[in-house]
Amino acid sequence: MSQNEITNILVCGIGGQGVMTATEILAEAAIAEGHDVKKTEVAGMAQRGGVVTSHLRFGRKVLSPQIEPGTVQVLLGFEGAEALRWSHYLRPDGLALVNNAKLVPPVVELGLFDYPEDPTGQMRAAGRRVVSFDAMSIARDLGEIRLGNTVMLGAIADYLPFSPDVLLACIVKRFARKGEAVVEANRRAFAAGREAVAKQLGASLPNPAAHA
């Protein structure tokens, strides 16, 4: 079996942002499509505020759970500097979908380190394909900041080797117990995430996760 048949998705952000839950829903969608799936985290210590990356690999049969540098088809970044930190995990034709959030840690506020100027700009300058958007503003416009994670999932929905509807169905299933209003809000957030990316990319960019 060749590496090409495995989809590698890296979700990154900081503790408390919902990185692990988002990846769990992506994993559920891959399972619904009949894939073998492995998902693993590097979360460091239990505290909030540290670096979190969640590795998702799926295909006919997944062996090693860890994604290696240079092999990611889609990087879903919940924070700008974190997307930059992990951008070397992308394949040359990989795509980074990045929430513009800027979460500045105490070590930067103390003046010990600098927060990078324009992280997504640096990624582009390094030749990465990047789409950035403000998931939290989109969520706020929809009336609920907690919809941000569904906006993020909407953003990646058209860059998976299966239909966006599969992912949406998994989100709906998660929120079904909370009632139709919550489900409907999540549907809107999902659509808004898709639109935020489509608006910038149109149909111009090939889907790096599409299997030949």
Partner 1 sequence: MAAVMPQLTNPLAPPPATSRLLLSGNEAVARAVWESGVRVAAAYPGTPATEIIESLARYPDLHAEWSVNEKVSMEVALGASMTGARAFCAMKHVGLNVASDCLMTMTITGAYGGLVIAVADDVGMSSSQNEQDSRFWGRFAHIPVLEPADSQEAYEMTKFAFGLSEQYETPVLLRLTTRICHVKGLVVVGERVAHEPAGFIKNPQRWVMVPAHAKTRIPSLFQRDETLRGVSEASPLNVLESGTDRSVGFVASGPAYMHVKEAFPDAPVLKLGFSYPWPPEKMRALAAMCDKLVVVEETEQLLETEIKAAGIACHGKDVLPRMGELSPQVLGPAVDRLLGKEVPPLPAAVPMKVFPRPPTLCASCPHMGIYYTLSQIKNIIVSGDIGCYTLGAGHPWNALDTTICMGATMGVALGIDKGRGAVDKNKRIIAVIGDSTFMHMGMQGLLDITYNKGNVTVLLLDNNTTGMTGGQATPASGKDIHGAEAPRVDLAKVVEALGVANERIKVVDPYELPVLFKTIRDEIKIDGPSVIIARRPCVLIDDFKPFRPYLVEEDKCTGCGNCIEVGCPAIHVTRREKVVKPSGKEVELAFVNIDNQACTGCGLCVQPCAPDAIQHVPRRDIPIHIVKT
- Residues making contact with partner 1 (CB under 8 A): 1, 14-15, 20, 24, 27-28, 31, 36-52, 62-66, 68-70, 81-82, 84-85, 87-89, 92, 104-116, 119, 122-123, 126, 145
CB of 92 to partner 1, least distance (A): 8
In single-letter form, the type of residue at position 168 comes to: L
Inter-residue contact 147 to 186 (CB < 8 Å): yes
Q: Among residues 96 and 192, whose Cβ is nearest to partner 1?
A: 96
CB of 198 to partner 1, least distance (A): 27
Q: Among residues 113 and 199, whose Cβ is nearest to partner 1?
A: 113
Q: Among residues 84 and 197, whose Cβ is nearest to partner 1?
A: 84
**Can you tell me whether residue 98 is helix, strand or coil?**
strand
CB of 87 to partner 1, least distance (A): 6
Q: Among residues 104 and 210, whose Cβ is nearest to partner 1?
A: 104
Give, rounded to a whole angstrom, the gap between the first and last alpha carbons of the chain: 14
Q: Which residue has the tokens 């959030």?
A: 101
Q: Among residues 116 and 161, whose Cβ is nearest to partner 1?
A: 116
Cβ-in-10-Å burial (0-12, 13-18, 19+) of 195 comes to middle
DSSP class of 52: E
**Can you tell me whether residue 122 is helix, strand or coil?**
helix
Instruction: Look at residues 195, 212, 204 and name the one whose alpha carbon lies nearest to residue 157.
Output: 195
CB of 210 to partner 1, least distance (A): 21
CB of 187 to partner 1, least distance (A): 22
**Can you tell me whether residue 88 is helix, strand or coil?**
helix
Q: Which two tokens stand for residue 176?
A: 């079904």
